[in-house]
Structure 1
Amino acid sequence: MDYSSLINKRRERFAEVEELIADPNLFSDQKKATEIMREHRRLKQLLEMWDTLETAKRNLEENIELAKEEDAEIAEMAQMEIPELESTIEQLSQDVQYALLPRDAAEDRDALLEIRGGAGGDEAAIFAGQVMRMYQRYAEQRGWKYEVIEAMPSEAGGFSKSVMKITGEEVFRFLKYESGVHRVQRVPATETQGRIHTSTCTVAVMPEAEDVDIQLKMEELEIKATRSGGPGGQHVNTTDSAVQITHLPTGIYVKCQDGRSQTQNKEKALEIIRAKLFEAKQREQAEQYSAQRRSLIGSGDRSEKIRTYNFPQSRITDHRIGFTTHNMDGVFDGSLFELTDALQKEEMAQRLEDAGMA
C-alpha cells in the first residue's frame, strides 16, 4: 500500500506544530505544551523513518541493477548488500505502518503496576517478588524511573502485593501487554521431594489517570487514617500515617502506608483509585468497540493466563500469540524486549486489519 498521501498530511501537520512551538505563549499552558512537544517528536520520528525507508528502497533498486553488471567485483558487492537492505526496508515499513495508525493517547502515559501473589501460597509470593524485580530491571533498561507506592512483604520472602509507579517515555505503550495471570512452574526451595509446583501471580497495568479523565467526588470516598503495620516500607512507623480509601460506588479499596506522611499516603491512594477507575472505563469502551475483537492488552480479567515461566526447561511461553523464548535468565534480568516486540507486531497486524491498512 502506498502511504505517500498520509505522509504528506503528516508533513503539513509537522509544519503546523513547528509554528505552535515557535509561539512563546505555548508554554504558559504546561499540559498543552507537553502534548504538542510529544506530537512534534512523534511526527519528526515518523518523517525521518519515511525518508530513510525511501532512501533504502532507492538503494535496493540500484543494487539490483548493479548486481547484473558484467564487472564481477561490482556485481558481487551489490549482491552482498541486498539482504541487509531488504531487512532494513521490512523493519522500517513495519515501523512506519505502526506510526501511521490512529494513536491511543494512553500509550504516552506513565503507568501504575500492581502485582499480587495468586495460587501457590508462599511460592506465589516469592514469584510475585521476582516479577516485581523483573519489571524494575526492565524499567532501568528502558531509561524509566520507578517508585514503590505500596509493598506487602511475605514472611517467606517476596511480596503478597506490590504497587509501583513507572514514569518515562511511552511507559504504558510497552507495559500494557503485561496485565493478566503469570504462571510459574518450578521446584521450590522448600520442596524436599524435587516435585515441580505451579504457582501464579496477577499483574495489572493501569495508565496514569488525570483529573480530566476521572473526577473523584469526595462524598463518594470513605477515607480513614489507620496505624501502619507490618514490614511495610523503610519509613513505616507506629503513628497514624497509613491511609485507607474506599470508593463507595465501586467498592474499590486501597491502603497506602509506605509514604512518610499521612498526606503523602492519601495522595498515593487517590492516584491508585483514579487509575483503577480509568482502567475500568477504558475496558468498558473497548468492549463496546468490539465484543469479538481479539485483544492482546490485558482485559482486566485476572483469571486470564497470559504467560508461563517453566524453569526446568528454561522456557517462557506467551499463550496469547504462542510465542516461546528460552532466555529465562535474560527476561528476569529485565530483558523483555523479545516478548514485547512479538506482542507489538501481532497487535499491529490486528490494528492494520481493523484500519483497512493491511
Structure 2
Amino acid sequence: MWDKLESVTARIPELERQLSDPSVTGNPREMQRIGRELAELRPVAAAHVRYRQIEQELADNRALQDGETDPAMKAMVREEIDRLTSEMDRLMEEIRALLVPKDPNDEKNILIEIRAGAGGDEASAFAGELFRAYGMYAESKRWKVEILSRSETGLGGSKEVIAMIEGRGAYSRLKYESGVHRVQRVPATEAGGRIHTSTVTVAVMPEAEEVDVQIQPDDLRIDVFRSSGPGGQSVNTTDSAVRITHVPTGLVVQCQDEKSQLKNKSKALKILRSRLYDAEIAKRQSERADLRRSQVGTGDRSERIRTYNFPQNRVTDHRVGLTLHQLSAVLDGGFDPFIDALTSQAQVEALRKTG
C-alpha cells in the first residue's frame, strides 16, 4: 500500500506538468482526462501527507512522555497521543477507501431503459410510475432528463421508456438500479380486491462517447418509416421514424418520437452506442469471474432486486436486506437510502479484496 501511496504522490507533479504542455492544452479531451485524474489523486496525496505528519507528531509526543516527570503534564501528553492515534486509525481507513480502484464510468451520464415485464397493463402502469420516480430523483440532484424513446399504452402507462440522464456522478448513483423491480398491489380494475404481482425491468448503462465505441458506417443498416402512436396519435405524413440495425451484433434500435428524421437518427445512435459499450463492459466482467461474484446486483437484469408492496407501504431491496415503510417517499424519488446502502456494501467488498 505504501508503494502505491508514494507513486500517487510522485504522479501529481507529472500530471501538473502535462497540463502546461502545448500538445495537451490544445486537446480538450486530454485536458479533461488529466483533470479528472488529478481530482482523484490529490485527496489521496493529502491524506498521505497528513498521515506522515501524525507519525512524526506521535514520535515527538512519545519521546516527551518518556522524559516527562510532572504527572499533570504526562497526562496531557497521553491525551494527545490518544487523539493522534485515533486520527491515524481513521486516516488509515480513509486512505484504504481512496485507494480502491474507481469505476471509470462513475462520473458519466447514463442511459436508462425501463420496460414493462410480467403483468400486462399493471406492469406498464408501474413502468410509467418508476420512470417518474427516477425523474424526480434526477431533479433533486439537478440532473437533466431527456426522453429518447417512449412507447405508451392507452391507459397512461409505458411499455418502454428510454431516457438520457445527464449529470455528474449519475452512473455512480444509479448503476445499482439495473434488474427486476417487482410491484405488489390491487389494480384499479380489480373488483375483487386481489393483490396482483407485476414486474418491470430496468437497465442502466453509462453513456458511450464516440471515443468509447467506434461504429463503422458499413456496419449499420438504416431504415426509415412513418411513425405511429396509440389511437392514431403522432402519426406523421413523412418517413421520420428511424430503425438502425448494427449488423455485426444484430442489435436493433428504433426511434420515432421526433418529427425530424435527423433527430430520431441521432437519438437512435446514442442508444446503440451505449448498448454496445454496455455489452463490452459485461463481456470484460464475465471474463473476471471474481468481480462478477462480488458485484452488488449490477448488470444481471434477470435478478429480482427490489419489491414495492403497496398494501404494506413497504419497499424492500433484496440485495442488502433493507426495508423502508415509506413507499410514497421512494416513488417521489427517495432512492438515496437504498443507493447509499448498496454503495457501502460494494465499498466494503472492494476493501476486503484489496486487503
- TM-score, normalization by structure 2: 0.82
CA distance 1:259–1:30, change in 2 (3 Å): farther
Alpha-carbon distance between aligned partners in 1 of 2:118 and 2:273, rounded to the nearest angstrom: 28
Give 2:42's aligned residue: 44
SS at match of 2:287: helix
Aligned twin of 2:188? 189
Which residue of the partner structure matches residue 334 of structure 1? 333
State the shift of 1:287 in Å: 1.0
Q: Quickly say closer, same or farther: Cα 1:241–1:211, change in 2 above 3 A.
A: same
Q: Which amino acid aligns with 1:253?
A: V
Alpha-carbon separation, structure 1, partners of 2:166 and 2:46: 26
User: Does the 8 A contact of 2:154 with 2:230 survive in 1?
Assistant: no
In the other structure, the counterpart of 1:298 is 298
Offset of 1:222 from its aligned partner? Answer: 1.7
Task: State the match for 1:288 in structure 2.
Answer: 287
Amino acid in the other structure paired with 2:295: S
SS at match of 2:183: strand
Matched, 1:316 2:315: yes
Is the contact between residue 254 and residue 269 of structure 1 (CA under 8 Å) also seen in structure 2? yes
Partner SS state of residue 206, structure 1: strand
CA RMSD of aligned residues (A): 3.5
What is the deviation of 1:120?
0.8
Alignment check: 8 A CA contact 2:228 2:234 kept: no
SS of the residue aligned with 1:10? helix
C-alpha distance in structure 2 between counterparts of 1:93 and 1:311, whole Å: 44
The residue type equivalent to 2:9 in the other structure is R
Query: Any stretches of 5+ residues in structure 2 without a counterpart?
Result: 62-70
Report the counterpart of residue 137 of structure 2 in structure 1: 138
Deviation at 1:344, TM superposition (A): 1.1
Letter of the 1:214 counterpart:
V
Greater CA drift, 244-253 or 209-218: 209-218
Q: Distance in 2 between matches of 1:35 and 1:326?
A: 42
User: For 2:192, what is the secondary structure of its paired residue?
Assistant: coil
Letter of the 1:294 counterpart: S
Partner of 1:17: 15
Contact kept, 8 Å, 1:214 with 1:274, in 2: the verdict is: yes
The residue aligned with 1:266 is 265
Q: Name the counterpart of 1:33.
A: 31
Deviation at 1:86, TM superposition (A): 7.8
1:56–1:127 CA distance, 2 compared to 1 (3 A): farther
Separation of aligned partners in 1, 2:133 and 2:255: 23
1:275 corresponds to which residue? Answer: 274
CA contact under 8 A between 1:236 and 1:258: conserved in structure 2?
no
- Could you tell me whether the CA contact under 8 Å between 1:179 and 1:202 is conserved in 2? yes
Sort the Cα spacing of 1:134 and 1:48 in 2 relative to 1 into closer, same or farther, 3 A.
farther
Aligned residues: 337
Q: How does 1:1-358 map to 2 (within 5 A)?
A: 5-23=3-21, 25-47=23-45, 96-230=95-229, 237-290=236-289, 293-299=293-299, 301-355=300-354, 357=355
Once the two structures are aligned, what percentage of the paired residues are identical? 42
Quick check: 323-332 or 262-271, which moved more? 323-332
The code of the aligned residue for 1:229 comes to S
- CA offset digits 1:183-202 (Å, max 9, x no partner): 01112222222221111110
Task: Supply the AA of the counterpart residue of 2:102.
Answer: R
Work out the CA distance in 2 between the residues paired with 1:345 and 1:7: 23
Distance 1:325 1:54 in 2: 43
Contact 1:176 1:297 in 2 (8 A): no
Distance 1:320 1:109 in 2: 24
**Whole-Å separation in 1 of the counterparts to 2:139 and 2:50:** 29
Cα distance, 1:53 vs structure 2 = 8.6
- 2:353 and 2:38 map into 1 onto residues whose CA distance is 26
Amino acid at match of 1:344: T
- Structure 2 CA distance for partners of 1:99 and 1:331, relative to 1, 3 Å: farther
Q: Distance in 2 between matches of 1:23 and 1:213?
A: 25
Distance 1:259 1:7, change over 3 A: farther
Q: What is aligned with 2:68?
A: none
Q: Could you tell me which residue of structure 2 aligns to residue 66 of structure 1?
A: none
Letter in 2 for 1:289: R
Q: Distance in 1 between matches of 2:143 and 2:220?
A: 32
Determine if contact 2:225/2:240 at 8 Å carries over to the other structure: yes
Say if 1:224 and 1:354 are closer, same or farther in 2 by CA, change over 3 A: same
- Deviation of residue 243 (structure 1)? 0.5
User: Structure 1 residues 289, 316: CA separation in 2 closer, same or farther (over 3 Å shift)?
Assistant: same
| TM, length-normalised to structure 1 | 0.82
Q: In structure 1, list runs of 5 or more residues that go unmatched.
A: 63-68
Give per-residue Cα distances to partners, 1:79-134, cap 9 Å, x unaligned.
xxx9xx989x86x7665433311222122222110000111111111111111111
Q: Which moved more, 1:166-175 or 1:195-204?
A: 166-175
Q: CA deviation at 1:220?
A: 2.6
Cα distance between partner residues in 2 of 1:153 and 1:51: 56
* Contact 2:307 2:316 survives alignment (8 Å): yes
Counterpart of 1:11, as a letter, is T
